[in-house]
Chains A and B, each alone.
Chain A
Amino acid sequence: MILAAFIVTALAALGLIAVSRTHRQMNSICIGEAAVFLGLEIWLLLSGQIPVLSLVLGNQYFFIDHLGLYEALIASIIFLLAAIYARGYVDNLLESRELGRGSLKLFYVAWAFLLALIVFAFFSDNLALFWIFTELTTVVSAILIAILYARDNIDAAIKYIFIASVSMLFSFVGLIFLFQISRSTFDPGTLNWTVLMQQAPAFPAGMMLAAFALLFIGFAAKSGIFPFHTWLPEAHVRAPSAVSALLSGVLLNVGIYGIIRIFALVHRTTAVSTVSILLLVFGLLTVGIAAISMLPQKKLKKLIAFSSIENMGLILVGLAIATPVAIFWTLFHVMAHSFTKAGLFFSAGILHRQYHSPLSADAVDDMHDVFRFQPVAAWGIILGGLAIIGMPLFPVFLSKLFILTQLFTVSLPALVLLLVLLFIAAASFGYYVISTFTQVSQPGPDAHDIVAYKTPAGMQWPIIILIVMIFILGTVFTSGETGFLNTIVAELMF
């Protein structure tokens, strides 16, 4: 059983971390766990036996379909790179006493556990199980946020937990509604997505709408959709950058994944037209608030965090269009965004180490001479920034373009509005980067000497790998890749 392999790996990782003593060991175990996960997923991918159904017992709780595998692959890759990155990063945190040496074990346990939880969330067929895993990811990632030795971190973690959990409770009510719907349509009721998809056309629209709206609240909070996004900038800013990359690159996907799943259900019913409008409105509001909030930002990580919100909004808009092409590119955008954003956070982390920017979300970064001190990180920010605002040769460009072309079939004003908002976001990003990176101090005796942080290669390679990866993603399309995405679209029955 493939799932057993995952479980065993995760348990082994947790156990090994529990007995290991040094930072190096724990970090290596996390790298190993992610690598094994990745290997298993690639094996699954190549073996071609997906979808794997009926993984546990009679009642089907787990399954692996293309979408789940896709998301799990993204998650594992980012976890792998983040773990490599974390070694140097956490070393420095320890040196600067921002992280207590005693918290180290907790940090890595949470880390290893988070990966397992996320992957299992993606492999859950039962939506309630998915809900539980999602809820647990909140808990575990909150630990990762709160781990630093600062009150601001606890504050951010509390915000994250409260907003996400409170909203997730509404999601659960939505699940109950969904269950009630399924029970009233066929006996016995179930929350298994695969079964629900079969039965969905018979579901009553009104109830389905209510179920969707309630479910949406929770998953929207997990994925940082307006007005539930408020936790996101603060958590991303304060978390250690390796964790920020996970939050933005992986954890947001969990919420989006949930929305995709239930939207696929709704799409089979007549409630879809109303839901599409709902999604479109929320998507545009999200992009809008994020783009406009980016403009006056003076803090790099906060800016990147808002950019994540903006991209989540864009994904929502893509979903709302609900044509197969739009869904295809929305899925592509999920991946593009994850990798790009991880690269950006890695780079921001190096700059954070260099300049020791204050943790508080409102404090202003004081950066100068970035090219002299941290050329790799600076180029990471520049190229990543160009990628995230949608320059060609990078994948976001394509997904943006096609989502926009598809949006035109839905609504012209929405298209224009979205374009303007994307422009504002891009301009804000450019404005920040230009005005920060051109700060150069005159070398002289009176210049307060800032010592160049010797970035370990382990922190630079993930950035380079990610940039090369997104470059390849944006330029090379194999038939396997498009076929895979098309299969997902077909499985979602769009």
Chain B
Amino acid sequence: MIDPALIQSVIRVLFAVVIITAAYIISTRNLSTLVSAYAFQSLTLVFMALALWSLEDAPILLAIAIITFISKVLIIPYFITTIQERIRIKRDIEFHFLSPTTSLLLSMGLILFIYIALSNILKDTAARESLFFFGAVIGLSLMLMGMMVTFSRKRAITKVLGYLSMENGVLLFGMFVTELPFIIEFLIVIDLIILVMLTTILSVGLDSTLEEYHDRLHRFHLVEDTEEGS
């Protein structure tokens, strides 16, 4: 058995890593780096789940780690990369509302803000002192940072990554509430995968011309045959 204090500090380090990857996702312009950053963030979460597993010895955490690894580190990044290659988009340099620097500064503010807000909310509860609190702070911050990506980037595919980053925040938070039934976690992941696939496919539709889009749909075997556009 490893020393709980050590694990707790490891977890804290992982928190920092997660936040850093999130910041990277916010500010980078290169799409393939973006996907890598996301995969790395998910990997961090896997490690975090493992660390928590060793701390609390709940088998569900191990399961979460495995599912996360398979879906978020392997399948989804692979899928998005494939799509990216097909639509030949490399960079997303248009920003809406926020420039990368402002986003970074803002996200720092957000973390602080959520910390204060949550400590106010959880003032009188037992949850205030536990890891639950940290999980909540980091999870929510991650969500809001991911959300900043969704509304400040032009390309739909970047938005998807922002959304995924948000989802990571939820997962991070969820890991600290271990008794959540496993089936729920499992279904959520399935749901997520479907959602991501659909969104990505649709994003392709937005980011390319209609004819190409239907052509691709055909190649994905989503529709049986293609007709000429009206």
State yes or no: do A and B touch (Cβ within 8 Å): yes
Interface residues of A in 155-194 (CB under 8 A from B): 155, 157-158, 161-162, 165-166, 169-170, 172-173, 176-177, 179-180, 183-184, 188-189, 191
- Measured between alpha carbons, how far is A189 from B121 in the docked complex, in Å? 20
Q: Please, which residues of chain A bring their CB within 8 A of the CB of B181?
A: 59, 126, 128, 191
Give the residue name and chain of the A residue nearest to B209 (CB). Answer: A151
Q: Please, which residues of chain B bring their CB within 8 A of the CB of A179?
A: 177, 179-180
Q: How many residues of B contact A (CB 8 A)?
A: 52
Q: Please, which residues of chain A bring their CB within 8 A of the CB of B191?
A: 132, 135-136, 139
Give the residue name and chain of the B residue nearest to A213 (CB). Answer: B121
- Measured between alpha carbons, how far is A177 from B136 in the docked complex, in Å? 9
Q: Please, which residues of chain A bring their CB within 8 A of the CB of B27?
A: none
Contact segment of B11-19, B42-50, B195-203: B195-203
B121 engages A207 (CB within 8 Å): yes
Q: Please, which residues of chain B bring their CB within 8 A of the CB of A165?
A: 163, 195
A100 at the interface (CB under 8 A from B): yes
Interface residues of B in 113-157 (CB under 8 A from A): 121-127, 132, 136, 139-140, 143, 147, 150, 156
B230 engages A96 (CB within 8 Å): yes
Interface residues of B in 185-224 (CB under 8 A from A): 187-188, 191, 194-195, 198-199, 202-203, 205-206, 210, 213-214, 218, 222-224
A169 engages B170 (CB within 8 Å): yes
Q: Please, which residues of chain B bring their CB within 8 A of the CB of A155?
A: 206
Q: Please, which residues of chain A bring their CB within 8 A of the CB of B187?
A: 129, 132
Give the residue name and chain of the A residue nearest to B223 (CB). Answer: A102
Question: Given the known A-B contacts A139-B191, A204-B125, are A154 and B199 also in contact in the complex, defined by CB atoms under 8 Å?
Answer: no
* A459 shortest CB reach to chain B, Å: 22
Interface residues of A in 138-157 (CB under 8 A from B): 138-139, 142-143, 146, 149-151, 154-155, 157
A97 engages B227 (CB within 8 Å): yes
B202 engages A154 (CB within 8 Å): yes
* B19 shortest CB reach to chain A, Å: 17
- Measured between alpha carbons, how far is A106 from B229 in the docked complex, in Å? 18
Question: Given the known A-B contacts A166-B150, A169-B166, are A149 and B229 also in contact in the complex, defined by CB atoms under 8 Å?
Answer: yes
A161 engages B195 (CB within 8 Å): yes
- Measured between alpha carbons, how far is A176 from B203 in the docked complex, in Å? 30
- Measured between alpha carbons, how far is A100 from B228 in the docked complex, in Å? 9
A206 engages B121 (CB within 8 Å): yes
A23 at the interface (CB under 8 A from B): no
A366-408 to B contact mask, C-beta < 8 Å, 1/0: 0000000000000000000000000000000000000000000
- Measured between alpha carbons, how far is A154 from B179 in the docked complex, in Å? 39
B173 at the interface (CB under 8 A from A): yes
Question: Given the known A-B contacts A96-B230, A101-B227, A102-B224, are A126 and B122 also in contact in the complex, defined by CB atoms under 8 Å?
Answer: no
Residues of A in contact with B, size category: 35 or more
Q: Please, which residues of chain B bring their CB within 8 A of the CB of A204?
A: 124-125
- Measured between alpha carbons, how far is A161 from B160 in the docked complex, in Å? 10
Q: Please, which residues of chain B bring their CB within 8 A of the CB of A143?
A: 198
B143 engages A170 (CB within 8 Å): yes
A166 engages B147 (CB within 8 Å): yes
B167 at the interface (CB under 8 A from A): yes
Q: Please, which residues of chain B bring their CB within 8 A of the CB of A184?
A: 125-127
B226 at the interface (CB under 8 A from A): yes
B222 engages A106 (CB within 8 Å): yes
- Measured between alpha carbons, how far is A209 from B187 in the docked complex, in Å? 27
B225 at the interface (CB under 8 A from A): yes
- Measured between alpha carbons, how far is A132 from B192 in the docked complex, in Å? 10
- Measured between alpha carbons, how far is A286 from B191 in the docked complex, in Å? 29
* A241 shortest CB reach to chain B, Å: 18
- Measured between alpha carbons, how far is A325 from B194 in the docked complex, in Å? 41
A6-40 to B contact mask, C-beta < 8 Å, 1/0: 00000000000000000000000000000000000
Give the residue name and chain of the B residue nearest to A135 (CB). Answer: B191
Question: Given the known A-B contacts A102-B226, A207-B121, are A161 and B150 also in contact in the complex, defined by CB atoms under 8 Å?
Answer: no
Q: Please, which residues of chain B bring their CB within 8 A of the CB of A154?
A: 202, 205-206, 213
Question: Given the known A-B contacts A100-B227, A206-B125, are A158 and B206 also in contact in the complex, defined by CB atoms under 8 Å?
Answer: yes
A129 engages B202 (CB within 8 Å): no
Residues of chain A at the chain B interface (Cβ within 8 Å)? 59, 61, 96-98, 100-103, 105-106, 126, 128-129, 132, 135-136, 138-139, 142-143, 146, 149-151, 154-155, 157-158, 161-162, 165-166, 169-170, 172-173, 176-177, 179-180, 183-184, 188-189, 191, 204, 206-207, 209-210
Which 6 A-B pairs give the minimum distances between C-beta atoms? A102-B223, A154-B205, A97-B230, A102-B224, A128-B184, A102-B225
Known: A61-B183, A100-B214; 7 extra A-B contacts, CB below 8 A, are: A102-B223, A128-B180, A146-B205, A161-B198, A173-B136, A173-B170, A176-B174
